[in-house]
Amino acid sequence: MALFFLGFSAGLPFLLVFSTMSAWLTENGVSRSTIGFFSWVGITYSVKVFWAPVVDRIRLPGLGRLGQRRSWMLVAQLGICAGLFGLSIVDPDQNLHGVAVLALVVAFASATQDISVDAYRIEAAEMERQAAMAAAYIFGYRVALLVAGAGALLIAEFSSWSMSYAVMAGLVSVGVITTCIIQEPEHDASIEPPHSNVGEPRRQRIVRWFRSAVAAPFHEFFARHGWLALVLLGVIATYRISDITMGVMANPFYLDLGFSKAEIASIVKAFGFSMTLAGAVLGGIFVVRFGLMRMMLTGAIMVALTNLLFALMAELAPTRMLLAMVISADNLSAGVANVVFVAFLSNLVNKTYTATQYALFSSVMTLLGKFIGGFAGVVVDGFGYTMFFLYAAGIGIPAMLLVFAVMRFEIFSDPDIPKVASQILPN
């Protein structure tokens, strides 16, 4: 239950500075190229690894008595609330720069929350329950995406964008309440440096802290996998690149086809949500049957192929039925891919360095896609939506090749991996 509500808290701000914001900016006449560059705000999620050691090791004054994970969660959630409320009172027509700054505040606070929640998720249960924890987290995250997607669009349709963002700011209270209720998990302190000797120079203390909190997590990962660590990082960097790049222009695409915000909310967000859940269940079932890495490859292929359906849609007369069919395939594929990918990442983490290593993986996961996605509007303005979706499908090919390489080297030969993934089924 805690992971469901924390997943909701983590998922709520994401679309509000991504696709929902792109719909808001589109309606305010902002160019597609500018909207694409606006998505670079999301790079904040991709560079969170740089302050993950601080979140992992530095105790906050005052609030630190809540515990390492809970105190950082609470500070981040308050930052998200403040940023969203600020967006509710800023007009993009009058102050587009202010919108960008507040979106950056929300993204930074949200990324900080992700660091602490990911660490809490991994530390709060043994490895055999990690896929079940991931399932609860993803379910909560997806519910939040539904609220921040369909909910925000419907409020904007029947009221205003200002009211929409104000309501979203109020919903941050879900995470705040959860953080205040849950218990702090046990943290593996085996690599904490010994207490400094009396009179130890400050510089020496800083160097010792840097080695244990920053350098050690990276050294451990590369020592464990050797040069194959680069292949694993390549998989992580490219696995979602096609999906992320396409997502930047999704809402502008639907609006340019003539669909209303209410239609986007009901078909793309609400109906798409149900298909994502179906994909998550299928992903859990298929991992048990075929294994984690086979499903990683299948998920990469499915995500890239669904972009071809969007290219076809761009060439045909837009209808609700066609939109529903394309959304069905796209969200089903995303549901499968996301579940197996989270299980894949969780199994790469050493629990001694939970927050820092998972932040490394999740940062690498989105950095390349976010950067390339920033040019999505330029591609659309220059070549049209059809070529853009073909391009988005094509950049998914490296992920397939790298996953296949991991399969060849049999990095994951542990028989417990399918067992871990199977824990998703009861959830």
Residues in contact with 199: Cβ distance below 8 Å, sequence separation at least 6, in sequence order: none
Which amino acid type is present at position 374? G
Task: Tally the C-alpha atoms within 13 A of residue 105's C-alpha that lie toward its C-beta.
Answer: 18
Instruction: Round to whole Å and give the CA distance between 35 and 254.
Output: 14
Asked if the structure places residue 194 within a domain, the reply is: no
pLDDT of amino acid 426: 36
pLDDT of amino acid 274: 87
| Domain of residue 214, residue span | 2-185+208-422
List the CATH number of the domain containing 368.
1.20.1250.20
Asked if the structure places residue 244 within a domain, the reply is: yes
Question: Tokens standing for 344?
Answer: 């894949």
Residues in contact with 82: Cβ distance below 8 Å, sequence separation at least 6, in sequence order: 105
Count CB atoms within 10 A of the CB of residue 392.
29
Q: Say how many domains are in the chain.
A: 1
Residues in contact with 3: Cβ distance below 8 Å, sequence separation at least 6, in sequence order: 121, 124, 133, 136, 137, 140
Tens digits of residue pLDDT in 69-96:
888 999 999 999 999 999 999 988 889 9
Distances (CA, A) of 372 to 77, 106, 206, 263, 377: 28, 21, 36, 28, 10
Q: Residue for token digits 């960097």?
A: 237
Tens digits of residue pLDDT in 330-378:
999 988 988 888 778 877 877 677 666 776 787 777 788 888 888 888 9
Asked if the structure places residue 191 within a domain, the reply is: no
Tens digits of residue pLDDT in 286-333:
877 888 888 889 999 998 899 999 999 999 988 999 999 999 999 999
Percent pLDDT > 90 in the chain is: 32
- pLDDT at 254 > cutoff 60: yes
Q: Which long-range contacts (CB under 8 A, 24 or more apart) does 357-362 make?
A: 357/217, 357/220, 357/221, 358/115, 358/118, 358/119, 358/122, 359/48, 359/49, 359/52, 359/55, 359/114, 359/115, 359/118, 360/49, 360/52, 360/217, 360/218, 360/221, 361/236, 362/45, 362/48, 362/114, 362/118
Asked if the structure places residue 92 within a domain, the reply is: yes
Instruction: Round to whole Å and give the CA distance between 293 and 421.
Output: 11
pTM comes to 0.73
Provide the mean pLDDT of the chain: 83
Q: Are 18 and 152 contacting, i.e. CB atoms less than 8 angstroms apart?
A: no
pLDDT of amino acid 32: 87
pLDDT band at 53 (very low <50, low <70, confident <90, very high): confident
Asked if the structure places residue 265 within a domain, the reply is: yes
pLDDT of amino acid 134: 75
Tens digits of residue pLDDT in 173-230:
999 999 999 888 776 554 444 454 555 676 776 677 677 666 777 778 888 878 888 8
pLDDT band at 424 (very low <50, low <70, confident <90, very high): very low
Mean pLDDT of 401-425: 59
pLDDT of amino acid 194: 47
Q: Can you state the angle between helices 161-171 and 173-181, rounded to 10 degrees?
A: 0
Q: Can you state the angle between helices 130-146 and 320-348, rounded to 10 degrees?
A: 150
More confident residue, 125 or 162: 162
pLDDT of amino acid 232: 87
Residue 196: left if φ>0, alpha if ψ -120 to 50, beta else—which one? beta
pLDDT of amino acid 319: 92
Question: Tokens standing for 193?
Answer: 């440096």
